[in-house]
């Protein structure tokens, strides 16, 4: 119980910090929202972890567009385990973790698993594409929700917010804040989920 309380307290603190960072970033005019290279970003003192839900949670429909502007929904990925990362180019913790997400997609991405980095930038695909180019991200696809409806649909209090979603489109785990997505612990956790989903899918 004490361990769960500590984890809960840590997650709550991370939520508040992420919300403040996101709110302050939104107040910055678009002309001042510079995209910084990864080397210029401050180090993250604490890494978030995936926290498992007691039972899988159905998600509200999510609508967005891909890098070509074609409309998509989360149901387009039905049958695959999905790591949905909701982020924005003006969110410092989001920018810090994007290279790790890119490496995760390069290592595990395929017909059974994919990372969906869903940007809520109101400047749209061009801003995200410039960000990808500046950081040298090559494995992640571009997905954008300029309406910001995703934030409300997943009940996110701040950014980044990441959900691990099963083959049926249900939320299994959630992380609040930046995480080391290609670290050995996180990779092992996702691999375990993939194996469990494969057994259930048979």
Q: Quick one: pLDDT at residue 193?
A: 85
**Antiparallel, parallel or unpaired: β 143-144 and 63-66:** antiparallel
pLDDT more than 70, % of the chain = 75
Q: Quick one: pLDDT at residue 157?
A: 85
Q: Which residue shows structure tokens 């469990």?
A: 196
Domain boundaries, the chain: 2-29+46-201
How far, in Å, CA of 33 to CA of 109, rounded?
30
Helix (H) or strand (E) holding 125: helix 125-135
Residue 196: pLDDT band by 50, 70, 90 thresholds? confident
**What DSSP assignment string belongs to 3-25?**
HHHHHHHHHHHHHHHHHHHHHHH
Q: Quick one: pLDDT at residue 32?
A: 37
Residue 201: pLDDT band by 50, 70, 90 thresholds? low
Q: Quick one: pLDDT at residue 202?
A: 58
What is the CATH T-level fold of the domain 2-29+46-201, as seen in this structure? Glutaredoxin (3.40.30)
Q: Quick one: pLDDT at residue 200?
A: 66
Encode pLDDT of 133-172 as tens digits. Answer: 999 999 999 999 999 999 999 999 899 999 999 999 999 9
Who wins on pLDDT, 135 or 4?
Answer: 135
Residue 31: pLDDT band by 50, 70, 90 thresholds? very low
How far, in Å, CA of 16 to CA of 30, rounded?
24
Q: Quick one: pLDDT at residue 17?
A: 44
pTM of the model: 0.78
Q: Quick one: pLDDT at residue 199?
A: 72
Encode pLDDT of 10-27 as tens digits. Answer: 444 444 344 434 433 333
Encode pLDDT of 39-93 as tens digits. Answer: 434 444 357 889 999 999 999 989 999 999 999 999 999 999 999 999 999 999 9
């Amino acid at each position: 119980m004490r361990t769960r309380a500590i984890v809960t307290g840590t997650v709550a603190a991370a939520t508040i910090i992420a919300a403040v960072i996101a709110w302050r970033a939104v107040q910055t005019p678009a002309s001042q929202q510079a995209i910084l290279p990864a080397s210029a970003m401050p180090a993250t003192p604490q890494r978030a972890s995936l926290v498992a839900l007691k039972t899988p949670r159905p998600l509200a429909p999510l609508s967005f567009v891909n890098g070509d502007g074609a409309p998509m929904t989360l149901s387009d990925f039905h049958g695959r385990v999905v790591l949905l990362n909701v982020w924005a180019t003006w969110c410092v913790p989001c920018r810090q973790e994007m290279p790790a997400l890119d490496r995760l997609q390069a290592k595990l991405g395929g017909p059974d698993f994919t990372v969906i980095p869903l940007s809520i930038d109101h400047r749209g695909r061009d801003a995200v594409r410039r960000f990808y180019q500046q950081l040298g991200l090559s494995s992640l696809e571009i997905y954008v929700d300029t309406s910001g409806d995703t934030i409300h649909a997943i009940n996110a209090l701040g950014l980044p917010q990441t959900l691990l979603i099963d083959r049926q489109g249900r939320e299994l785990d959630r992380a609040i804040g930046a995480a080391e997505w290609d670290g050995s612990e996180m990779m092992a956790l996702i691999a375990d989920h993939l194996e469990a989903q494969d057994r259930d899918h048979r």
